[in-house]
Structures are given as structure tokens and as C-alpha cells.
């Protein structure tokens, strides 16, 4: 057991900078699963750490007791509030970072019910041609150069533009939204995106415009949400838009960048996928496997409302449980040979998108984006190499595991002159 793993067993701290090294988090998570799968940490005023798949699933299956409205992060933006204000939010089942991620039933239910049809697999499939056009446009922007930072020049802009367009926002603002999300992973002590950099009056104006002149986009659907017959207030709607953008950006950006690094390190898999037709079923299982293996979101927390027993431990009301999605994805009791990439894995109930009522609303969109982005890179930059000496992980991988920069080189190619 390494010194870091021993320290984490004694006092788990997912924001420890020593975790921000390639492959290190999984070494620590494996030690947790083996030695103390459900354990108490004194960090950040104390919380439980769940590293086994079965224990996490037990928490998720009981959303009435284990709530999200006290926040989903440790530390959490709600920590800036007084204990009384935090408890009031928890009792109201409306968390401070807004719907739907920090709202609990029954207020969570109508929000989810209104938005889910717009993120269904059938609706998402209609966007594939558009996603491929955006993808090719951004490859066009650097393909003649023979080198690029694939994160800054591809993995960040493509999903941001796609999700902004999907929501009905202005995609020319993509850099502002992207920076609001990704910069948090470079700033120690910042837990959550920085909404202050977003033009909130502009966003609110668009929301009011959709309320007066509805269209068929997601922004319009948000204005139609009703809880107990009442619409969401302006701050809730802006927070909801922010959550959808953030969730649609960080997962896809980090998963795609990490998958491209993994493909470079596994040339046999890369060669096979490069020769696989775009509509072949192998792509579906390959994408699921890359999502499991890269697991861009490390975990979220839940807070107990009542006393409960998890893995033989008594969880008291008000205590927090940090659910390590990334550890569950490598649980040997759930996955055969979890540390290998098996693009034909037939049973792959990974937790990359969470589970239960708070499962990622845009998971089908993220799957399609990752698939298309990987396909086009393998098709148009078939010989790309990664400069591993310059790979740079996020400085804090406590929320999201991914790369700040992935420098690649490739044989220069021709632009397709595609337009969006």
C-alpha cells in the first residue's frame, strides 16, 4: 500500500493534490474497496465514503432518505449558508445550486417529467448529423497544422456548442460557458462552476423571450415547468440552464479527451475501431466501455434524513455519504477484469452517469457526442500521437477526472470546408 493510499484510508480527501496523477485515484479506490469499503473520513467536517458498487446502489435506491437538496459536493456551495438556512433548504427539498440535480421529490419530479422527453434516445438521434458537422468544423480549424491541444481546440468547444444549440442559447458564447466549467478544475478551493462569468442578464432575457414567444427548444420547456401549479422563478430557471450546460460539458469533454489518450495507449483497440463502420454495433459497446473506464465524474454526495444501516454501519440523520462512481466502475464484484478496456463488454452497468432519479438527464446526448467525436478523430487524424511528457491532468480531480491539456501531433490533412 502506498503512503497516499494509507493516508486516504485513514482520512479520505478527494481534493488531495496527490490524487491528480495518472492512474493514482484508481489505486487509492482499490485500496478502499479492499480495506474499508464504507468508511468515515474526518475531512471537511466528516462524511462517509462509499467505494463499493452494491453499497452505492443501496444509497441511490432510497432517494426519500438520502437526499440531494443539501448539495451534491463536498465541500458544497451551500456551505456558505448558515446551518439553519441549509436545513431549511433540505426540508424544502430545494437545494441551493438549483434544479434538477439538487432538488428532491416531490419537487424534483415535475421538472424531470417535463424535460425527459426532450432528451430521449429518439430525439437525440435526430441530432447526429448536426453533431458530426460541428465536429468536422472544429477538426477543420486545426487539421492543416499537424498539431494541436485536443482539449482546448476540440474536446471543449464541440460539446459546449452542441448543448448550447440544443438548449436554444447562443453558441457564439461557448468559450464563456466552457471556461466557467473547466476553470474550476485548475483553481484549488473552487468547488463548482463560476456562474459570475456568464452574462446572466442576457440569459434571463432569453428566458423571458421564450416565455413570451415559445419555440420547440429546451429553454421554452423550462419556462413551462410547474411545481404545485407554480412556474419556476427566474433564479431557478437560470440555475437549471446552468446545470444542463455544465453537465453537458464537463462529462463529455473529459470522457472524450481521456478516451483519445486511452486509444493512443491501446493501439490494437484503436486500429480495430478505426476500421469499424460508423453504424456498426461495436461502437455502442465501445462507447459504454470508454465511459466506464474514464469515468469523468468521480462521485457525488447524498445526505441522510433518517437513521440507516449501510454495510453494517449506522448512518445518522444529517450525515453525508460520498458515493465514488469511479470506484464502483472498477469494482471487481461487478465487472470482470475491470482494469482492462474491453470494447465488447456485454454487461456494463457503469455508474458514470449516476443512477436512479438523478441519473444524468443528457446521458443519451453525451453517448452520441463521444461516439461521433471519436469516430471523426480516428477517420481524419488516423496517425495522431500524444505527447505524454506534456499531458496535464486537472489540478484537482476531486470532482472530475480529466486533462487540462492533451498535445497531439498528426499528419496534416485537408479541410472539409464544412459549415454549421
pLDDT in tens, 216-261: 999 999 999 999 999 999 999 998 998 898 888 889 999 999 999 9
Pick from 129, 132, 130, 128: nearest CA to 377: 132
User: Residue 161 sits in a domain of what CATH number?
Assistant: 1.10.630.10
Q: How far apart are CA 328 and CA 310, in angstroms?
A: 16
Report d(CA 120, CA 224) in Å as an integer. Answer: 18
The answer as to whether 414 is a domain residue is: no
Q: Do the Cβ atoms of 353 and 72 come closer than 8 Å?
A: no
pLDDT averaged over every residue in the chain: 93
The verdict on residue 157 lying in a domain is yes
| pLDDT, tens digit (0-9, with 9 covering 90-100), for 194-214 | 778 889 999 999 999 999 999
Answer yes or no: is 415 within a domain: no
161 within domain boundaries: yes
- 163, 229, 350, 392 from 248: Cα distances, Å: 6, 29, 18, 22
Would you say residue 291 lies in a domain?
Answer: yes
CB 217 within 8 A of CB 206: no
Q: For residue 418, is it within any domain? A: no
Note down pLDDT in tens along the chain; length 420 residues: 789 999 999 999 999 999 999 999 999 999 999 999 999 999 999 999 999 999 999 999 999 999 999 999 999 888 888 999 999 999 999 988 778 889 999 999 999 999 999 999 999 999 999 999 999 999 999 999 999 999 999 999 999 999 999 999 988 889 888 888 777 766 666 666 777 888 999 999 999 999 999 999 999 999 999 999 999 999 999 989 988 988 888 899 999 999 999 999 999 999 999 999 999 999 999 999 999 999 999 999 999 999 999 999 999 999 999 999 999 999 999 999 999 999 999 999 999 999 999 999 999 999 999 999 999 999 999 999 999 999 989 999 998 999 999 999 999 999 997 444
* Number of separate domains in the chain: 1
Distance CA(100)–CA(112), nearest Å, equals: 7
Structural domain boundaries, residue 147: 3-409
Whole-model pTM: value is 0.95
Whether residue 417 is contained in a domain is answered as no
Q: How far is CA 227 from CA 233, 285, 338, in A?
A: 11, 38, 42
Contact present, 303 and 67 (Cβ < 8 Å): yes
Give the whole-angstrom CA distance, residue 293 versus residue 302: 24
Is 320 contained in some domain? yes
Distance CA 346, CA 331 (A): 16
Amino acid at each position: 500500500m502506498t503512503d497516499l493510499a494509507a493516508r486516504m484510508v485513514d482520512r479520505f480527501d478527494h481534493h488531495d493534490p496527490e490524487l491528480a496523477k495518472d492512474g493514482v485515484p484508481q489505486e487509492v479506490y482499490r485500496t478502499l474497496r479492499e480495506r474499508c469499503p464504507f468508511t468515515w473520513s474526518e475531512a471537511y467536517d466528516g462524511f462517509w465514503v462509499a467505494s463499493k458498487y452494491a453499497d452505492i446502489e443501496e444509497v441511490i435506491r432510497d432517494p426519500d432518505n438520502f437526499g440531494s437538496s443539501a448539495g451534491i459536493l463536498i465541500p458544497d456551495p451551500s456551505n456558505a449558508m448558515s446551518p439553519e438556512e441549509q436545513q431549511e433548504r433540505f426540508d424544502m427539498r430545494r437545494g441551493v445550486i438549483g434544479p434538477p440535480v439538487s432538488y428532491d421529490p416531490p419537487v424534483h419530479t415535475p421538472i424531470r417529467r417535463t424535460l425527459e422527453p426532450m432528451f430521449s434516445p429518439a430525439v437525440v438521434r435526430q441530432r447526429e448529423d448536426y453533431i458530426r458537422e460541428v465536429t468536422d468544423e472544429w477538426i477543420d480549424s486545426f487539421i492543416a497544422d499537424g498539431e494541436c491541444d485536443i482539449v482546448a481546440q476540440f474536446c471543449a468547444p464541440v460539446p459546449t456548442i452542441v448543448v448550447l444549440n440544443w438548449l436554444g442559447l447562443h453558441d457564439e458564447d461557448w468559450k464563456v460557458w466552457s471556461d466557467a466549467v473547466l476553470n474550476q478544475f485548475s483553481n484549488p478551493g473552487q468547488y463548482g462552476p463560476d456562474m459570475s462569468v456568464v452574462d446572466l442578464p442576457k440569459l434571463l432575457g432569453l428566458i423571458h423571450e421564450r416565455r413570451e414567444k415559445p419555440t420547440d427548444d429546451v429553454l421554452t420547456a423550462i419556462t413551462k415547468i410547474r411545481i404545485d401549479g407554480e412556474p419556476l422563478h427566474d433564479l431557478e430557471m437560470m440555475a437549471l440552464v446552468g446545470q444542463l450546460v455544465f453537465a453537458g460539458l464537463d462529462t463529455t469533454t473529459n470522457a472524450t479527451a481521456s478516451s483519445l489518450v486511452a486509444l493512443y495507449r491501446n493501439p490494437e483497440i484503436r486500429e480495430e475501431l478505426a476500421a469499424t463502420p460508423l453504424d456498426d454495433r461495436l461502437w455502442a459497446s465501445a462507447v459504454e466501455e470508454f465511459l466506464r473506464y474514464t469515468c469523468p465524474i468521480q462521485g457525488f454526495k447524498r445526505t441522510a434524513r433518517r437513521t440507516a444501516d449501510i454495510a453494517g454501519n449506522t448512518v445518522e440523520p444529517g450525515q453525508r455519504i460520498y458515493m465514488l462512481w469511479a470506484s464502483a466502475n472498477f469494482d471487481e464484484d461487478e465487472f470482470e477484469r475491470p482494469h482492462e478496456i474491453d470494447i465488447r463488454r456485454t454487461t456494463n452497468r457503469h455508474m458514470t452517469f449516476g443512477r436512479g432519479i438523478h441519473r444524468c438527464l443528457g446521458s443519451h446526448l453525451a453517448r452520441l457526442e463521444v461516439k461521433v467525436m471519436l469516430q471523426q478523430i480516428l477517420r481524419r487524424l488516423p496517425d495522431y500521437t500524444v505527447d505524454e511528457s506534456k499531458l496535464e491532468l486537472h489540478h484537482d480531480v476531486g470532482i472530475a477526472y480529466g486533462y487540462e491539456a492533451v498535445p497531439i501531433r498528426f499528419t496534416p490533412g485537408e479541410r472539409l470546408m464544412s459549415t454549421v
